[in-house]
């Protein structure tokens, strides 16, 4: 990117500032979180210091017991995606209605946030969010689950989708990305004021906690568990992001397969896979620690496979299919393809070419094309196909393992993991 008036002066200055902003955003929730942890009652009430303001022209909107929230009809059987999307629309309207009343937000800022949310939180495949609903239905039972419970599962699903949204807004800035989900990245739509997107990302994160508070304040124990799970997952993801972005200042020799595994475990697996199932288990009342440990082990394995797949598609899928322009080579990413090529397959001449051009060439340049051709020459397409099948077989074999039996005993059927794996296995985008 170019001058500071229109973009970041360097990748490092961008991500350092952005990470600092996210750290501040996460810490800002800690006071409320600690207060909630100290509550002795099972029914949550508003904390007087945080209920918002009341002016002569506005009425303060407080956290509302779930029983007083009018959820729309959730047609899980016939329109699962449409029903899920309606919950997002409801959450946006709730927030935009509350901000002028409780925070004196002027119309211009409110309109900005509406435009920002419509651009950033919608438009993806929604696998993470939908899996909260599907997992919850599998655990509770399709015949036993109520409409309110379906909608609450969807609310938690959208909490993950909004978490994903602010991570992507930030990630796109740090990676100098151009497109996301088939449209310009949010910061690219703002022009010279691109830096406002940093605040937008932190704002989306703050909204996630408002959503959880509003919809689960009727049970402080449950709210505490959901908040704890979200905050822990956010920290894990940000630490993974740190390990990823630090690759900008590391030598290629440091971008090892072991570092790749560490990055993807923390940056991807926890929030993209474990959180969806853990949210559903928590809302369904699962309390067995061993069940959560077993689910985590399986879903981390799935997340590592998913990120290897994502790295492969970044190189070989077209922008039209992928929904974005692949930039891993230009961005010097510690990716599955690179670590395999550089540390396990390339000869001295090929490594010298990577040393000279990896992370130093532009997207679409002859050097980038040559690196992609090098990956193909080294047989990485075939190696990946074998890795993909091995990963699938390894995950499916866990059904009859001790982990599978532990989950079954806790009321978590294997279909939860089969459905999740089916959404990502051999995907093309």
Buried b (16+ CB within 10 A) or exposed e, 261-280: bbbbbbbbbbbbbbbbbbbb
Q: Is-contact 267 241, C-beta < 8 A?
A: yes
Length of the chain: 429
Spatial distance between the Cα atoms of 234 and 409, rounded to a whole number of angstroms = 29
Domains of the chain (ranges plus CATH)? 70-218 (1.10.600.10), 220-428 (1.10.600.10)
* 11 or 84, greater pLDDT: 84
- pLDDT of 40: 45
pLDDT, one tens digit per residue, over 89-140 is: 999 999 999 999 999 999 999 999 999 999 999 988 999 999 999 999 999 9
- pLDDT of 63: 53
Q: Is-contact 319 347, C-beta < 8 A?
A: no
- pLDDT of 47: 67
- pLDDT of 369: 97
**DSSP labels, 302-340:** HHHHHHHHHHHHHHHS-HHHHSS---TTTTT---HHHHH
Run of H or E including 405:
helix 402-409
Q: Which of 297, 298, 294, 300 is nearest to 411 (CA)?
A: 294
Q: What percent of the chain has pLDDT over 70?
A: 84
- pLDDT of 62: 56
* Torsion sign over Cα 118, 96, 203, 239: negative
Q: Which of 403, 263, 230, 27 is nearest to 417 (CA)?
A: 403
Spatial distance between the Cα atoms of 93 and 17, rounded to a whole number of angstroms = 31
Q: Count other Cβ atoms within 10 Å, centred on residue 255.
A: 21
């Amino acid at each position: 990117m170019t001058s500071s008036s229109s973009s970041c002066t360097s990748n490092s200055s961008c991500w350092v500032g952005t990470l600092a902003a996210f750290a501040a955003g996460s810490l800002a929730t800690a006071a409320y979180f600690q207060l909630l942890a100290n509550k002795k009652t099972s029914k949550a009430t508003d904390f007087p210091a945080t209920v918002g303001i009341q002016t002569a022209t506005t009425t303060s909107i407080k956290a509302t017991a779930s029983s007083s929230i009018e959820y729309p009809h959730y047609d899980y059987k016939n329109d699962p995606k449409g029903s899920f999307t309606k919950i997002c629309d409801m959450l946006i309207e709730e927030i935009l209605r509350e901000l002028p009343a409780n925070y004196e937000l002027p119309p211009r800022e409110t309109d900005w946030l509406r435009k920002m949310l419509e651009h950033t939180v919608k438009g993806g495949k929604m696998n993470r969010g939908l899996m909260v609903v599907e997992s919850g239905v599998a655990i509770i039972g399709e015949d036993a689950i109520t409409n309110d419970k379906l909608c609450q599962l969807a609310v938690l699903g959208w909490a993950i989708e909004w978490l994903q949204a602010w991570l992507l807004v930030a990630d796109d800035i740090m990676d100098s990305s151009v497109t996301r989900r088939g449209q310009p990245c949010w910061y690219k739509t703002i022009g010279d004021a691109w830096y406002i997107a940093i605040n937008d990302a932190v704002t989306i994160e703050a909204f996630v906690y408002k959503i959880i508070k509003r919809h689960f304040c009727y049970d402080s124990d449950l709210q505490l568990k959901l908040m704890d799970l979200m905050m822990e997952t956010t920290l894990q993801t940000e630490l993974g992001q740190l390990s990823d972005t630090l690759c900008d200042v590391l030598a290629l020799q440091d971008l090892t397969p072991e570092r790749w595994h560490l990055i993807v475990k923390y940056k991807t697996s926890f929030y993209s896979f474990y959180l969806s199932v853990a949210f559903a288990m928590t809302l369904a009342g699962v309390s067995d620690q061993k069940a959560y440990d077993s689910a985590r082990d399986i879903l981390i394995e799935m997340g590592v496979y998913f990120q290897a797949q994502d790295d492969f598609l970044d190189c070989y899928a077209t922008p039209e299919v992928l929904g974005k322009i692949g930039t891993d080579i230009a961005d010097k990413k510690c990716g599955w393809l690179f670590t395999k090529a550089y540390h396990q397959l390339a000869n001295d001449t090929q490594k010298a070419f990577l040393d000279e051009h990896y992370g130093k060439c532009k997207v679409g340049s002859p050097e980038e094309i040559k690196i992609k051709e090098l990956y193909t020459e080294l047989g990485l397409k075939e190696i990946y196909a074998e890795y993909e099948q091995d990963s699938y077989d390894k995950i499916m074999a866990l059904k009859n393992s001790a982990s599978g039996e532990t989950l079954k005993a806790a009321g978590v059927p294997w279909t939860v993991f089969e459905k999740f794996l089916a959404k990502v296995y051999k995907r093309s985008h």
